């Protein structure tokens, strides 16, 4: 008998992939977030000053030669014009995606938001060469697989909630 041996524990490999992609996104905790004191005593996360300064410069460079007209206009007229807002959105978005994927919590939501971010990042930089295209293509493909397989159900909060509290509203949410 010379058949192909069965795949061993594919759900665990998908969980490992989910965690690896989550770690890549979660680096935003250290590179794009900071903490400030609200009312002088309440610590709250915000986009780091460095990220708020660098983000519009990067977007300007990406937009400068971008051949995708509608997206170039979007970056120049909307993103750069409202760079403070978009710095906050990207910092919190990447952090939420990273933590959601690492911990397997609301995995469908996290991978869906990640997919939205990566498609936009890909549109911004794909014109810069095949390395950018390849990186974003692989990340998009990986996020689709994580989304489609609900990879948070193994080694994740999504699976833990479903196993221990199957009747709870959280287990019934279609986001994990």
> What digits encode the pLDDT tens for the residues 121-167?
999 999 999 998 999 999 999 999 999 999 999 999 999 999 999 88
Whether residue 1 has pLDDT greater than 60: no
Put simply, whether the predicted model's pTM sits higher than 0.85 gets the answer yes
* Look-up of token digits 């014009």: 81
CA distance 171 to 166: 6
- 10 Å CB burial of residue 37 (0-12, 13-18, 19+) is exposed
Distance, CA of 37 to CA of 127 (rounded, Å): 40
Sketch the domain layout of the chain as residue ranges: 12-162
3-state secondary structure of 47: strand
Report residue 34 as tokens.
């900071």
pLDDT value at position 2?
Answer: 65
Binned at pLDDT 50, 70 and 90, residue 174 comes out as: confident
Task: Please state, in angstroms and rounded to a whole number, the distance separating the CA atoms of residues 29 and 89.
Answer: 13
The three-class DSSP label of residue 137 is helix
Token pair recorded at residue 51: 């990220």
CB 15 within 8 A of CB 5: no
Residue-averaged pLDDT of the chain: 93
């Amino acid at each position: 008998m010379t058949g192909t041996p069965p795949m061993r524990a594919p759900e665990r490999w998908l969980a490992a992939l989910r965690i690896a992609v989550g770690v890549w996104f979660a680096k935003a905790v250290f590179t794009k977030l900071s903490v400030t004191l609200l009312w002088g005593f309440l610590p709250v996360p915000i986009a780091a000053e460095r990220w708020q300064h660098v983000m519009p410069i990067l977007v300007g460079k990406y937009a400068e030669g971008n051949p995708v007209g509608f997206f170039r206009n979007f970056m120049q007229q909307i993103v750069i014009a409202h760079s403070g807002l978009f710095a906050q959105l990207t910092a919190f978005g990447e952090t939420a995606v990273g933590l959601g994927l690492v911990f397997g919590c609301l995995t469908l939501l996290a991978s869906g938001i990640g997919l939205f971010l990566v498609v936009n990042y890909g549109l911004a930089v794909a014109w810069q060469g095949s390395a950018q295209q390849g990186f974003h293509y692989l990340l998009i493909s990986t996020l689709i697989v994580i989304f489609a397989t609900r990879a948070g159900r193994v080694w994740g909060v999504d699976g833990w909630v479903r196993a221990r509290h199957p009747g709870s509203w959280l287990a019934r949410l279609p986001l994990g």
